[in-house]
Amino acid sequence: MPLHWHRRDLRPADNVGLAAAADAATDDAGTDAPDERADGDLLALFVLDDALLAHAGPPRVAFMLEALAELRGWYRDHGSDLLLAHGDPREVVPEVAVASDVDLVTWNRDYSKIARERDSAVRRELADREIDRASYDDAVCHAPGSILTSEGEHYSVFSYYWRKWAERDPGEPPAAPDADRLASPDRLAAVEAAKLRNLDDPIPGLDDLGVPEPTADVQPGTRADGLDRLHQFCDGPIYEYDDRRDDPAAAATSRLSPHLSFGTLGPREVHAAVEAAKADAPDDDARENSEEYRRQLCWREFYAQVLADNPDMPTTPLKDFQNPIEWRDDPEALQAWKDGKTGFPIVDAGMRQLREEAFMHNRLRMIVASFLTKDLLLDWREGLAWFRERLVDHDPANDAGGWQWAASVGVDAQPYFRVFNPVTQGERHDPDAEYIRRYVPELRDVEPDVIHDWSELSPTQRQRTAPAYPAPIVDHAERREEAIATFERARGDE
């Protein structure tokens, strides 16, 4: 009897590990009654891990619980159920496997350091109990280590990785298991594991887990929402994606990142939908826009393979410097950045979108990260920690890679001397200040040119124009020069 351990793969279809468990399952081919359900033996389990819950912000926990409820509903609609346990997976998974008379446990791999250590411990415990175990690469179209340089190393330059990634076929998404492969209610009733929740209990709420309600309006965590967004995006917006993706006021991006992060959508099914849209593109320009979105899917996998090769990436810079970078210790500036009260309108709009929606437009992620690390000269790990707490789509590989890129300390990173000018970024990407005025109500009645010139206004002009909005907390030109000098000292250039 197989057991599939769901983690960041909260879906039945395009699930490599679940499909493998279904292949190993048996069904009762000898059922005589035509209306009687066949008695399969595939069990499905999810473990609420306190160690991971402690590092997940309320938006992510809320999204996950909604995804779990829908996944359990799918199993129940197919005559089975999703087993829920609460505890340390290193103990719970082997205990459930033994109590359920399981001979095979499958799961899909994570690439973070904590996940790999956890999975190694589970693997050892299962081996000690003589239970077979198998893990699969499911969260990416192409597994880390399957695309290497001619020297057999992981890629550190995205453009080279993309060339090889783009020409590879990820294959067809695996189908969801047939109902006759899933464990029937009778089989589930026979499972006796001390740490399992009662199958009649609802999915636990945030209060049950000691997690506060998110202050943000979190997007739905259901697979149904993900599929709807995918289909709507591929029906039209994808054909203008590259042309409009840097416009934060436009609804030009897919908002699929939370679904890819939690696995309510699979990477192969998203890739297949994008390829189908590309094939149906009405002209060459639309086709090129579709290809650019496909390129963004590759960025996820680029950072996944970097993390797989460098498990300390969330805490350790990947670029070597001769001397330590002299990050500032400025709690007040950090708090102003978190609160969206830096006095730089485009920065503050991005930080307030994060607070309101547990999401931030990708262009804004780059702008606010550059501002933290170059204008405020604060450690990129402070920003990563805030994103981990606030983003519903937090991903250890993507976020660590993105923050190291902005801070000029990672692979294929922004050069240290290239510092985003927040005023220029606002003028270029939000010229009418539509995005800024959406999230910064103090400036809602201010003209766009005045908003973009905020750092040039006198204190009297600011007080007369928008008295509730703060003055800039730093001088960008001065901090740009200081940032460059700081990195040159780290490089040993001075």
**Contact between residue 254 and residue 233 where contact means Cβ atoms under 8 Å apart:** yes
Residues 468 and 336 in one domain: yes
- Supply the range of the domain harboring residue 11: 2-138
Residues 371 and 401 in one domain: yes
Residues 304 and 336 in one domain: no
Tell me how many domains the chain contains: 3
CA distance 27 to 40: 4
DSSP 68-133: HHHHHHHHHHTT---EEEES-HHHHHHHHHHHTT-SEEEEE---SHHHHHHHHHHHHHHHHTT-EE
Residues 271 and 400 in one domain: no
Q: What is the pLDDT along the chain (494 residues), one digit of tens a residue?
A: 899 999 999 999 999 999 999 999 975 434 444 444 446 799 999 999 988 888 899 999 999 999 999 999 999 999 999 999 888 999 999 999 998 889 999 999 999 999 999 999 999 999 999 999 999 999 999 999 999 999 999 999 999 999 999 999 999 999 999 999 999 877 777 665 444 555 566 789 999 999 999 999 999 999 999 999 999 999 999 999 999 999 999 989 999 999 999 999 999 999 999 999 999 999 999 999 999 999 999 999 999 999 999 999 999 999 999 999 999 999 999 999 999 999 999 999 999 999 999 999 999 999 999 999 999 999 999 999 999 999 999 999 999 999 999 999 999 988 999 999 999 999 999 999 999 999 999 999 999 999 999 999 999 999 999 999 999 999 999 999 999 999 999 999 86
Of 115, 138, 161, the last residue of a domain is 138
Residues 49 and 83 in one domain: yes
Helix (H) or strand (E) holding 21: helix 16-24
In a domain, 46, yes or no: yes
Sequence-ordered alpha helix ranges (H) in 310-418: 331-339, 345-357, 362-370, 380-390, 396-406
The C-alpha angle 46, 263, 388, rounded to 5 degrees, equals 90
Of 118, 138, 158, the last residue of a domain is 138
Of 121, 138, 155, the last residue of a domain is 138
Residues 478 and 338 in one domain: yes
In a domain, 82, yes or no: yes
In a domain, 323, yes or no: no
In a domain, 102, yes or no: yes
Residues 234 and 379 in one domain: no
Whole-structure pTM value: 0.94
Q: Which long-range contacts (CB under 8 A, 24 or more apart) does 126-129 make?
A: 126/93, 126/94, 126/97, 128/94, 129/94, 129/97, 129/98
In a domain, 492, yes or no: no
Residues 465 and 404 in one domain: yes
In a domain, 158, yes or no: no
* Token couple for 428: 């270029």
**Contact between residue 338 and residue 385 where contact means Cβ atoms under 8 Å apart:** no
Residues 361 and 466 in one domain: yes
In a domain, 324, yes or no: no
- Residue recorded with tokens 């547990």: 358
CA distance 449 to 52: 45
CATH number at residue 113: 3.40.50.620
**Contact between residue 293 and residue 238 where contact means Cβ atoms under 8 Å apart:** yes
Residues 256 and 303 in one domain: yes
Residues 24 and 99 in one domain: yes
CATH number at residue 466: 1.10.579.10
CA distance 481 to 377: 11
* 322 exposure class (CB count in 10 Å sphere: 0-12, 13-18, 19+): exposed
Residues 286 and 380 in one domain: no
